[in-house]
């Protein structure tokens, strides 16, 4: 048997490199061995299917492993040492946000000094005192009304500057001083009397015991005519701290004061308000000085 050119024909293996297909080189009419080719193709396809099946099995195992890890993590099992959550620090180990915030000792400003405390007794009320200190200047203005300052007086014998039941009231509360001043506007005049005591309680007692007949004596002179020496006049009584203050207001022409004499009522009220403010300012000034000293 003779072979074709090129020596003996070798067996063709589709999976072996450099192997040749089994062509018959004897003549031009020879055809490929289709049966052998079909068999080789079937073997090749079978190998591919096995590879795909194997790869799918590995992928399934990998997915199953991922699901297992996810389930363990979701269940929060403390036994799974490879769980991501087990690698986190415990709550006690996590630093608190407030741990880094600096803390400061609470501080509070001292309460402001009460001005009334400094006019409540002679122990604190040490500022100079006199008619021109409580009632400075030559006039005062209340709102749009201007009052002209008249004569002043200062006595240590309180009863001598009072009339009616007031001398007895002042004596019962141990009045130490009585300061008076008169203001005028037109034919209306008012005298303010400030009685000084050692304590606030004594001043409050005098105010409480005063009645409609407890009247400070009007002060005239220095161009101010006598008033309220026989005519009906209007009087007021009040106190603040260790001071009790009284007003007597009327006409310098000797007329009686009636309920229609609104100018007399307004004058008395204005001077009583001004006296209260002056005593309070006295306390404020001494409280400010004490606060500045520390």
The answer on 152 and 80 residing in a single domain is no
Q: State which of 99, 125, 145 marks the end of a domain.
A: 99
Q: State which of 53, 73, 99 marks the end of a domain.
A: 99
The residue-averaged pLDDT of 13-39 equals 53
Quickly state the pLDDT bin for 101 (edges 50, 70, 90). low
The answer on 247 and 167 residing in a single domain is yes
The per-residue pLDDT of the chain, averaged, comes to 79
Q: State which of 66, 99, 132 marks the end of a domain.
A: 99
Question: For position 36, what pLDDT does the model report?
Answer: 65
Instruction: Examine residue 3 and state whether it is found in any structural domain, yes or no.
Output: no
Q: Is the pLDDT of residue 281 over 80?
A: yes
Instruction: Examine residue 123 and state whether it is found in any structural domain, yes or no.
Output: yes
Question: For position 246, what pLDDT does the model report?
Answer: 98
pTM > 0.75: yes or no: no
Instruction: Examine residue 233 and state whether it is found in any structural domain, yes or no.
Output: yes
3-state secondary structure the chain: CCCCCCCCCCCCCCCCCCCCCCCCCCCCCCCCCHHHHHHHHHHHHHHHHHHHHHHHHHHHHHHHHHHHHHHHHHHCCCCCCCCHHHHCCCCCCCCCHHHHCCCCCCCCCCCCCCHHHHHCECCCCCCCCCHHHHCCCCEEEECCEEEEEEEEEEECCHHHHEEECHHHHHHHCCCCEEEEEEEEECCEEEEEEEEECCEHHHHHHHHHHCCCCEEECCCCECCECCCCCCCCCEEEEEEECCEEEEEEEEECCCCCCCCCCHHHHHHHHHHHHHHHHHHHHHHHHHHHHHHHHC
The answer on 137 and 79 residing in a single domain is no
> How many domains does the structure of the chain reveal?
2
The answer on 122 and 80 residing in a single domain is no
Quickly state the pLDDT bin for 77 (edges 50, 70, 90). very low
The answer on 164 and 24 residing in a single domain is no
The answer on 219 and 141 residing in a single domain is yes
Instruction: Examine residue 109 and state whether it is found in any structural domain, yes or no.
Output: no
Question: For position 112, what pLDDT does the model report?
Answer: 78
211-248 residue pLDDT tens: 999 999 999 999 999 999 999 999 999 999 999 999 99
The answer on 262 and 149 residing in a single domain is yes
Instruction: Examine residue 108 and state whether it is found in any structural domain, yes or no.
Output: no
The answer on 136 and 77 residing in a single domain is no
Q: Is the pLDDT of residue 70 over 50?
A: no
The CATH number of the domain holding residue 195 is 3.40.1000
The answer on 77 and 142 residing in a single domain is no
242-268 residue pLDDT tens: 999 999 999 999 999 999 999 999 999
The answer on 175 and 33 residing in a single domain is no
Instruction: Examine residue 104 and state whether it is found in any structural domain, yes or no.
Output: no
Instruction: Examine residue 5 and state whether it is found in any structural domain, yes or no.
Output: no
Question: Of 132, 126, 131, which is closest to residue 198 (Cα–Cα)?
Answer: 126
The residue-averaged pLDDT of 104-121 equals 78
Question: For position 49, what pLDDT does the model report?
Answer: 60
Instruction: Examine residue 106 and state whether it is found in any structural domain, yes or no.
Output: no
What is the phi/psi pair of residue 102, to 5°?
-65, 140
36-48 residue pLDDT tens: 666 666 666 666 6
Which of the two residues, 82 and 164, has the higher pLDDT score?
164
The domain containing residue 247 runs over which residues?
Answer: 115-293
The answer on 158 and 22 residing in a single domain is no
The answer on 248 and 273 residing in a single domain is yes
């Amino acid at each position: 048997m003779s072979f074709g050119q090129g020596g003996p024909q070798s067996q063709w293996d589709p999976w072996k490199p450099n192997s040749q297909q089994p062509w018959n080189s004897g003549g031009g009419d020879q055809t490929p061995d289709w049966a052998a080719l079909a068999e080789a193709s079937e073997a090749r396809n079978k190998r591919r299917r096995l590879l795909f099946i194997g790869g799918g099995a590995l992928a399934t195992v990998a997915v199953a492993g991922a699901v297992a890890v996810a389930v363990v993590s979701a269940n929060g099992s403390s036994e799974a040492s490879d769980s991501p959550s087990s690698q986190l620090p415990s709550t006690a180990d996590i630093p608190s946000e407030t741990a880094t915030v600096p803390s400061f000792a609470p501080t509070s400003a001292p309460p402001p000094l009460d001005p009334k405390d400094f006019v409540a007794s002679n122990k604190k009320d040490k500022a100079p005192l006199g008619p021109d200190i409580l009632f400075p200047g030559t006039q005062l203005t209340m709102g749009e009304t201007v009052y002209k300052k008249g004569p002043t007086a200062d006595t240590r014998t309180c009863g001598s500057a009072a009339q009616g039941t007031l001398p007895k009231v002042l004596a019962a509360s141990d009045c130490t001083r009585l300061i008076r001043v008169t203001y005028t506007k037109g034919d209306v005049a008012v005298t303010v009397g400030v009685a000084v005591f050692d304590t606030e309680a004594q001043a409050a007692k005098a105010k409480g015991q005063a009645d409609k007949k407890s009247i400070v004596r009007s002060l005239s002179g220095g161009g101010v005519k006598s008033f309220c020496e026989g005519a009906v006049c209007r009087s007021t009584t009040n106190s603040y701290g260790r001071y009790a203050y009284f007003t007597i207001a009327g006409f310098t022409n000797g007329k009686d004061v009636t309920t229609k004499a609104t100018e007399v009522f307004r004058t008395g009220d204005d001077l009583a308000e001004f006296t209260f403010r002056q005593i309070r300012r006295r306390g404020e000034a001494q409280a400010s000085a004490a606060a500045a000293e520390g």
